[in-house]
Amino acid sequence: VQLQASGGGWVQSGGSLRLSCAASGGTFTSYHMGWFRQAPGNERQFTAAITSTGGRTYYSPSVKGRFTVSRDNAKNTVYLQMDNSNVADTAVYYCAAALRRSDWNGYYYRDSAYDFWGQGTLVTVSS
């Protein structure tokens, strides 16, 4: 499956931004989806994830309550709504797809849980 992330850009602290990730070349409902981010000089980190049906979501503690992950299976797209953003949210955001497996819920936060990655979209939050 190919993943194309979009929606990155500049936002002021406290503002909102919505990222999108369009999937093609596969059966979208066969994949759990995740968002990761990599700030300058840091390793890539888990941000949010959603199961293939959209029935369950996961968040890192740093974004829980501010970010919302969702998906539209009819449009083969997963979203990351970023609200109340802060400077620490500045990063390249990547979407990733994990072929549906029964044990994925135990390690959704690991890079190794995902089979396909998008190219990343840059989000800059200014104070």
Question: How much is the pLDDT for 73?
Answer: 96
Quote the CA–CA distance of 122 and 65 in Å, as a whole number.
21
Residue 120 φ then ψ, to 5°: 95, 150
DSSP 64: B
Give me the chain's average pLDDT, please: 96
What does the pLDDT look like over 62-89, one tens digit per residue? 999 999 999 999 999 999 999 999 999 9
What does the pLDDT look like over 89-123, one tens digit per residue? 999 999 999 998 888 989 999 999 999 999 999 99
Question: How much is the pLDDT for 101?
Answer: 82
